[in-house]
Amino acid sequence: MACCSPTDVRRLSLAAIVFLVVLRLSIGWQFLYEGLWKQHAAQGTDPWTAAGYLKNAKGPFRSTFRGMVDDPYDLDKLELDGAKVKSRWQEWQQLFEAHYPTLDAAQKAQLGKLVDASVVKLEELLRNPEWVGVVNEKYKGTVDYKRPGKIELYKAMVNKYEAKLKEVRQDFQQQHLDKLWADLEAERKQLTGPIDALTAELQSAGTKLLNLDQIRRGSSPQPSSKIDSVNTRTIWGLTILGFCLIVGLFSRAAAVGAAWMLLMFYLVVPPWPGVPEAPGPEHSFIVNKNFIEIMACLALACLPSGRWFGLDALIHRFVLRGKTD
């Protein structure tokens, strides 16, 4: 491509070159800042996660993106036997003991008691009649024999939402669906909140067992999950691609990678006909901010902007001398 050679700028004005480089730097800064912010937020008390965004996926790829989350509706936490919650606590206990190999017998025994106590609290919670329903012997044999509890009602709300989602065609249906989603999320948080609180309480109590030397080893790792891998890839992808775009290193490949990431973001809730709109004040049809940025990245991938201003110029001069685009 003769017009794209950095040594043949007769077909590109200086202003065009400057603004194309500024465009690359701007997209790179956005990616780098997002990656660094998410990395910092992931280590806080309320860690960032892509779970909420993926759970709210809509459109033809909804199942694919929601499948990246271990349990989109948190139904595993609401199993009446609490098996999966107990299993994660036991896995956390093993990771905790492995991370702090200097734990003595007394600390390990105390940690085991903390886990056992949490299991007892969980079982009491899951036996709550308000949650699991009440059997009324007076109406045995009739439809009123068992009054459904909150867990059963929540599962019915999930099924209703999934069914309504496939039927949305008109604005009023979308408004009803948005209201149903808000009610569903509120109910989910009300049910899973106490269970999450038990997990946080257990881990906090375990940390208090540590001595000063053990605390210096840092926090114990959490049990692995699908979303952890997604979060890690997202953070590193944003950070590395942003860095490469800013410094002009492998700028064309970085632009293609950035376009691919943006395409994934776009397809989670694509602004296509028949797809419910994403929550928020913005309204788009086919083209949204992600789509525009995808086009910008693909345009940059066709240009040697890293050789106009960036480390690609040094690589081409000293490593790939004599080669052309």
Burial class (CB in 10 A: 0-12, 13-18, 19+), 209: middle
- Count Cβ atoms within 10 A of the Cβ of residue 152 and give its class: 0-12 exposed, 13-18 middle, 19 or more buried: middle
Per-residue pLDDT at 1: 42
pLDDT recorded at residue 322 = 54
- Mean pLDDT per 10-residue section of the chain, whose length is 325 residues: 51 87 96 94 78 86 89 90 93 94 94 95 90 66 68 91 78 76 90 93 93 89 87 95 95 96 94 77 86 96 92 82 54
Residues 6+ apart with CB under 8 A from 129: 149
What global pTM score does this model have? 0.76
Which contacts of 213-219 are long-range, i.e. CB under 8 A and separated by 24 or more positions? 213/102, 214/100, 214/102, 214/103, 217/99, 217/100
The pair of structure tokens assigned to 34 is 């997002």
Instruction: Give Cα 136 to chain centroid, integer Å.
Output: 43
Report pLDDT for 138.
Answer: 57
Q: Tell me the torsion sign for CA atoms 311, 317, 321, 322.
A: positive
Q: CA–CA separation, 160 vs 178, rounded Å? A: 13
* Structure token pair of residue 10: 């007769």
* Domain definitions of the chain by residue range: 1-70+225-325, 74-224
Question: Torsion over CA of 176, 177, 180 and 185, rounded to 10 degrees?
Answer: -140
245 touches 52 (CB < 8 A): no
Q: How far apart are CA 35 and CA 242, in angstroms?
A: 8
Contact 195, 150 (CB under 8 A): no
- Cβ–Cβ < 8 Å for 220, 92: yes
